[in-house]
């Protein structure tokens, strides 16, 4: 194998690992937030709008780490030659 092929193979492998680990955190975090929001609505149904809004903001912040890992993975795939 040539040096450039090894680098490209490592970049593809790294991009896969990056997305794999980068998706674990947001997945767990968003699921936890949604579960706690369901518990909150069950306890206080009159606050459903506030709880839902707060949950969605928290999930958006949590998802940003997944988007960052996607950007890094895309850079590894298409910029590294």
pLDDT of residue 81: 67
Q: Which domains does the chain have, with CATH numbers?
A: 3-78 (1.20.20.10)
Output DSSP code: residue 79.
T
| Helix runs in 1-81, H state only | 3-43, 48-78
pLDDT per residue as tens digits for the range 2-29: 888 899 999 999 999 999 999 999 999 9
Alpha-carbon span 26 to 48, nearest angstrom: 23
Rounded to 5 degrees, what angle do the CA atoms 18, 20, 26 make? 100
Q: Where does residue 69 rank: exposed (0-12), middle (13-18), buried (19+ CB within 10 A)?
A: buried
How do residues 30-75 score in pLDDT, each as one tens digit? Answer: 999 999 999 999 999 999 999 999 999 999 999 999 999 999 999 9
């Amino acid at each position: 194998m040539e040096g450039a092929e090894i680098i490209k193979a490592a970049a593809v492998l790294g991009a896969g690992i990056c997305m794999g680990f980068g998706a674990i955190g947001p997945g767990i975090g968003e699921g936890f937030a949604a579960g706690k929001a369901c518990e909150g609505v069950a306890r206080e149904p009159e606050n459903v709008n506030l709880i839902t809004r707060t949950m969605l903001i928290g999930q958006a912040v949590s998802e940003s780490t997944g988007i960052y890992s996607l950007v890094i993975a895309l850079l590894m795939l298409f910029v590294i030659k």
